[in-house]
Every structure is written in C-alpha cells, then in structure tokens.
Amino acid sequence: MTRLSLSSAILAALATCNWAISEDARLLHDDSECSAEDGCTLVALQRGAVKRTHDEEAEKPRSDRPTKSFTSSYRRPKMIADSPASKFIVNKDCEKPPCSGQVHIQLGGPGEMVVVFASQPESVAEPLVRFGKSAESLSSSAKGTTFTYSQLMYWNHQLFDPVIAGGREMSTEEAAKLMSTDTWAYDKRTGWKYPSYRVIGPQQVEERMGWYKNPGERYDSPAIHTVVLTGLEPGVEYTYQVDNDGRKFSFKMPQEGQHYPYKVGLVGDIGQTPVSNSSFHLLQGLKPELVLLTGDLSYADGYYPRWDSYGIMAEPLNARVPVMSCPGNHEYASAEAFKSYNARYPMPYAQSGSVDPNYWSRDIGPMHVVALNSYAASGPDSFQFNWLKKDLEAFNRKRTPWLVVMMHAPFYNSNLGHLGEATVMMGDLEELFFKHGVNVVLAGHVHSYERTWPVYKNETTVCAPVYINIGDGGNREGAYAKWLPGEHGALEPTWSAFRQGAFGMAELELSNETHAQFVWKRNACFDNGEVDFHPENCSTSGDNSKNALKHDDISWIVRSAEACPNQA
C-alpha cells in the first residue's frame, strides 16, 4: 500500500476523526514535549515505530448468542496526548532532586488503595503519601515500607534488535562495554590481569545470562516505596501526593457491590513501544473504574532498567486508575523470576487467602475477579488449585453476580502463536470454571485478539465462559497473524467468534446483573514490518482471518441464572 508522509498521515487521521486542528498543530511536526493537558494528538507521536521485515461471510444465527436486541453505546475515546515513547521523561518537579517517580496505584483490601513509587539512592524521599478529598487540603497521610533489590541481568536478543522499538534499549556495542571487565579487573600497579579480566566485542554479544563476577552486569533497583491508603470510601475521588514529588494525582475509589454501569478497561502484553503508549492512553480516555492487565507488563526480559522506563511510560494511566494484573511469561522467564514484578506491582493476595503473590482474588464492584498464575502448578494437589477451589466455593454471587477469571496463557487459542501451551492448566481447571459458572476468562500471551462463543470442552454452550484473548497491547515482538482453520474445512473452529492479528485494547461494561457489553477496538496494524496507526482502514500483513479488515468487535455477554444453574 502507498504510504503517506508523516504530516499528511496525521492530517488524514485528524480529518477522518473530525478533529479540529488548533494552533498546537505545530506539535505534530517536531519532537517537542507535550503532556495530556497540551491537547496535541497522540497520532503525531507514533513516529518512534521502526521498520523491520516481519514474517509475514455473514455470521450464522446461533443458539448460544443473546436473543435480546441492544444498541451499542460505545464511543471511541479521543486520542490523549503523550510524550513520544522514545522520550520517557524522568520527573523533575520537586524541591530536592532527584525527584520521586514511577507513581502507580492498585487496589488492596476493602477500602484500600496501594500507592507505589520509586526514588534514587541520593533522594530524600520517604515512604510517605499525603492524601485527601480536596487537592487544596491533603489532610491525611500514610507511611509504608521501602524495598530495594539487586539482580544479575539477562541479555535478551530483543534488547539489541527488537521487531518494534520502544523503551530502554541498547546497541551491541554498548552491551559489549558492560560485559567487559577490562576497566577494573587488573592490578593497577603491575598491570597483571585478574582471572575475571575479559574484553567482549560487539560480535560476541549473544543471548545469555550475565556473569556474576562482573558488577557491570548487575542491576541495582531504585528504592521502591509501597504505601497503603486505608479507610477510603467507594465512589469518592481522592487527591494524593507522594513524598519528594511536586505533582498531585487523583483517583476515584471504585464502587463496591452492584453499581451499574460499571466500566473496566482490558489490555495485555503491553510492553513500551509507541503502540503500548497509545494503548494506555486510549484506556485512560475510557475513564474506567479500573484496568485489568493479563500479564507481560514491561518486557524487561532480564534487562531490569526497562522496569523503570515502563514505570515512567505507564504513569499517566497508572497513577490515576488502579491497574490490576497477573504475571505473564515475561515476568517469569529470562531470569525475571517474578522479582521485579512482585516488588513493584503488589496484588491483594494475602487478603484473599492466597499464599502466593501471583494469584489472588477480590470483589471489585459487581465482579468477583480471580487472577491466576499460568506459571505455577495447577493440579488438584497444588496450592493454586486448592486455593482457587476454596475461593470459588466461597464467593457471593448475590453481591458480585459476575465472575471473571484472568490469567496469561489462553485455554482457547486458534492462532499458531503459543498454540497449546496452556493444555495442562486447561485440563486441571476448565471443569472447575464451568462448575462454578465463570462468565468471562481473560488471557493474553498470544499477540493478537480473539473472542470465543461460550465454550466448554470445545463445544459451544450458553452456560460456559466466554474466553477473550487480549495479548495485543503493543509489545515489541509484533502482532501474530497466522490463524488455524477449523475442522472439516471450516475457516475457524466452531467456538471462535472473532479473531484478528492486530494491536488493540478493550472495554467491558457491566450493564446490569445479566448483561455486559464487550468492545474491542483496533489501535494499529503491523503492515509489512511497519506499525500502521490508521486503525479504521489498516490491516496486518499475512492476517488470514475473515475479520482481518474489521476495526472493532462489539458483543454482548449474557448471564442467565434461570437457564444456567451454575451461574445462579
């Protein structure tokens, strides 16, 4: 397809969306910084996406689809301005630099919001947060804990040569200098080289674990401050300020119990590319009660400074809206071992009776949300299984009619990417999901979007969960577009309702105790190795799904206690 120049592409996007071009249009043509208040459009700030060669009918009536007719109330949120993904600016707004930063929030127990922020060793910051119902009067304060850690880095090839650039990266020349010990591993008096002396050239840089003898391959974290705000009232807006930070942030404490409509943002496999940046700000524009993130946050992959750059990128959303998550393989593999994830993004596991910080549950509005760990044992003799069984037996359907499960690796996936990786866990837990009437199962891992019909053991049935794979948040590995056919010559499996290899984000709006509207919106495509930010009319090269050209998917999820005793 013919490419528009940057300027003309931006103008075309603005015209398509009926956006007025103000005097701030000058910001669309340079690298000037802009904030959410400046009014410059995010479309102009996607120029950090890099080019790279990449591997490449009408719906039939169904008995398991809703019979009632509804009109969608969805309106695509305006693009919210942001700094370019290549410029994750460290906070400089404080009296005594270096300033605190990487501010983010997540729910704790009932009436609790957990505030986490970072500071440098030379900072005067304490684990202190001031807060109140008025920005002019932060009359309350809370103190918390501080934690630091050190880890041996892992050198992942995506750090040097990502499919899509974004966040902290480096060249092989820079990595070689860090891997070399020639600047210190010798006797300065005699010149004698210690056994730990080595010089690494750029051509020798490869994917491997760092060397414990070399301090240059060690990561020392900033101070991670965790403060729990307690006694918060549902539906009330609070303003807060972390120590040694001149900025103030506000959040609304999510409603409890059956309050409708109840809006939830959904995303997975986010990373820190220009697409990731865009996805987070589109989620912020939805003004949800909270966001559920199905794992794979920073894509640090063992180069731990990327947790810091992720924290800066995510702050515009994460400091204002609680983001609740489960771990993915990128929090587990490449020597990550959940260390950075658990230190920075604590979930309410203890409050839900879990002994593992990587699986938890909580009543959130009219939902009971259960987050599972795809990378922990799940069999009947495991801690996770026994905890889950007890949790599902105890949750109150009258208080929280909607039962939502979140995990990383999908049970139902018709994409070639990561095919069958959750087979063992699926065998362990699918029957438990059905027995207790799980309504929605969210997953990621596969870098594409797919929604199923209600399905149980490969058969569609109205009383089964709807499985939604949203691993399309924008990470650096690109979109997965190779879809598998169904049986007997069918284009797709009978349980697959919609699938597409693109980037996007989603919204789940619970309308009442029986109906929820799910909306997925394409954010960008991956066309011949280039990120294409024309969501209304782009397509990912090689996408062989019948939905490849559709830019959204809007559907209703129905909970019927009368037809389905397991959901009563």
Active site residues: 418
Helix (H) or strand (E) holding 394: helix 383-394
Backbone angles phi, psi at 386, to 5 degrees: -65, -40
For residue 166, is it left (φ>0), alpha (ψ between -120 and 50) or beta? left
DSSP class of 233: P
Length of the chain: 568
Q: Do the beta carbons of residue 106 and residue 114 sit within 8 Å?
A: yes
Q: Do the beta carbons of residue 520 and residue 466 sit within 8 Å?
A: no
Cα separation of 150 and 340, whole Å?
10
Which residues, in sequence order, are CB contacts of 185 under 8 Å at separation 6+?
193, 194, 196, 197, 198
Backbone angles phi, psi at 477, to 5 degrees: -85, -5
What are 293's two structure tokens?
Answer: 């993130």
Alpha-carbon torsion, ordered 429, 431, 436, 437, to 10 deg: 110
Other C-beta atoms within 10 Å of 233: how many?
Answer: 11
Beta bridge partners of 229: 113
Beta bridge partners of 517: 509, 556
The three-class DSSP label of residue 241 is: strand
- DSSP per-residue codes, 422-488: THHHHHHHHHHHHHTT--EEEE-SSSSEEEEPSEETTEE-TTSPEEEEE--S--TT-----BPP-GG
Cα separation of 115 and 104, whole Å?
6
Q: Do the beta carbons of residue 459 and residue 260 sit within 8 Å?
A: no
Cα separation of 526 and 543, whole Å?
10
Which residues, in sequence order, are CB contacts of 534 under 8 Å at separation 6+?
9, 12, 13, 16, 525
Other C-beta atoms within 10 Å of 185: how many?
Answer: 16
